[in-house]
A and B are shown apart, each in its own frame.
Chain A
């Protein structure tokens, strides 16, 4: 197992992706993705469905193994057969489109579970932190509700709190608002924006262009497995150069 790279310092990229390739059978979904993130960066990855956005961020926490290329998280190589996946995933939190809360546990238990079982932390301290996190995602009073009793937006916020309970250095958001109805999208976005403002390093795969423009420090547009264009939101939306980007933006905005 590889331990975290001792030579890595916080002034180097916290995530460094180089030429990431991934195929599912004959279908090549990632054809060389490269990207650097510094600590505290918030980036949005946008693009048409099937362009490999989700696959890409799933490669970062080794949920999907990449075929070739390199991803380094705090200097630790992910594309390494000796990788300690559990150590990597303690640093990288992830939130899914379908929330994936544990339905047999209450909201509070969902948040407390990983720190107690994985990090072996003291139950009372974890509970204190979990209650604070639930307050942070503005769900006080819902601690003892089961996921089935919560709305989609509430479940997604519990899922965010559950990830944060592990005190990750990076958060990955995989189309977290795609399954929500328009009214509840906002409550989830507010939570994410708050995180971004607190300096959490975030990668968001999203279809919410307005939100991307507002929150992201940098926007990447992917299509058919490559990054077609990227730039800060101020110029990205108004001065897109590539015809594919223009077409996508004209359809969505």
Chain B
């Protein structure tokens, strides 16, 4: 969508002059990128490092550190294993989001259907999964789904992580469904009336006029949901998937050094923070940007 260019940083106000060049450069970069850039600064990283070092220091002080390797070395040693787990978390979150969004979008559209049975059915499914604890859904999928599907000619294996992904996709689906319904209903009724009076059919109105406008409204809550989902993927450790929390637990068990508990779990926290915080920042910016232009 084309919009009138806003030239940030062009000013002749004396108070603003010191910052003008910096703002103009930034605006130029954003124009080239076609959108707002995350404003991650060195201090964000410093904070993270400080938390890590602090926790490491506390742990170090608790340990009798003569024979054993330092906490930092231990973290470095286990890092590949832990990060592998983290990648697994992200993969699960991605897949669950894709499945949840696809099914949830259909469910959301069914919620605005003109046919009462369709509308009521999808409303019920949405409410049921939206108001269920994620962990319970996860357990249900773990124990209800078979470990493989036999199609006669081929057998599809159903490992634990796939079941966990499906388990997490269910609440995502329900939330996406509500996001779609909410966005469609938040548009002024005048849009529907204008389309109707121009002889658009209901389907055309929805696809040509209503939904394109809804995408903007849906994006921030959808990204928010993704961040929440990513943080919820650690629930899969409870059902035995080898993601980051499970791997951390294993590493700690192998080391058998209580003073490593806090640094290791801090490392997990930092990984999630580093991944989810930019999403949160990005979401807030999109929200602010779309707020003005509606």
Q: Which positions in A face B, CB cutoff 8 Å?
A: 61, 63, 85-87, 89-90, 92-94, 96, 98, 100-104, 113-114, 117-118, 144, 146, 148-149, 159, 162-163, 166
Contact = CB atoms under 8 A, between A and B. Distances in A.
Contacts of A101: 194
B225 interface: no
Given A96-B190, A117-B208, 9 more contacts: A86-B199, A102-B191, A103-B213, A113-B198, A114-B199, A144-B2, A146-B1, A159-B194, A162-B198
Given A96-B190, A100-B190, A104-B213, A118 B200 contact: yes
A63 B196 CA distance: 8
Most buried by B among A118, A149, A159: A118
Contacts of B195: 102
B191 A149 contact: no
A167 to B, nearest CB: 12
A163 B198 contact: yes
A148 B1 CA distance: 12
Contacts of A159: 194
Interface string B168-210: 0000000000000000000010110111111111001000110
A37 to B, nearest CB: 18
A90 B199 contact: yes
Contacts of A114: 198-200
B43 interface: no
Nearest to B216: A104
B4 interface: yes
A98 B293 CA distance: 17
A117 B200 contact: yes
A90 B201 CA distance: 11
Contacts of B193: 63, 96, 100
A166 B198 contact: yes
Interface of B: 1-4, 188, 190-191, 193-201, 204, 208-209, 212-213, 293-294
Contacts of B197: 61, 63, 89, 92-94, 96, 163
A149 B1 CA distance: 13
B200 to A, nearest CB: 6
14 contacts: A63-B197, A85-B196, A87-B199, A89-B197, A96-B194, A96-B197, A100-B194, A102-B209, A103-B213, A104-B212, A113-B198, A113-B208, A114-B199, A114-B200
Nearest to B192: A100
Contacts of B293: 148
Contacts of B198: 89, 93, 113-114, 118, 162-163, 166
Contacts of A146: 1-3
Contacts of B204: 117-118
B3 to A, nearest CB: 8
Contacts of B294: 103
Nearest to B210: A102
Contact of B199 (A102, A104, A144, A166): A166
Given A117-B204, A118-B200, A104 B194 contact: no
B214 to A, nearest CB: 10
Query: Which 7 interchain pairs have the tightest Cβ spacing?
Result: A100-B194, A100-B190, A94-B197, A89-B199, A114-B198, A86-B199, A90-B199
A166 to B, nearest CB: 6
B190 to A, nearest CB: 4
Most buried by A among B191, B194, B209: B194
Nearest to A166: B198
A203 to B, nearest CB: 13
B275 to A, nearest CB: 32
A86 B201 contact: yes
Nearest to A91: B199
A148 B208 CA distance: 19
Nearest to A144: B2
A89 B195 CA distance: 10
A104 to B, nearest CB: 5
A216 B53 CA distance: 82
A243 B76 CA distance: 93
B7 to A, nearest CB: 16
A93 B199 CA distance: 9
Most buried by B among A85, A98, A100, A149: A100
A93 B28 CA distance: 45
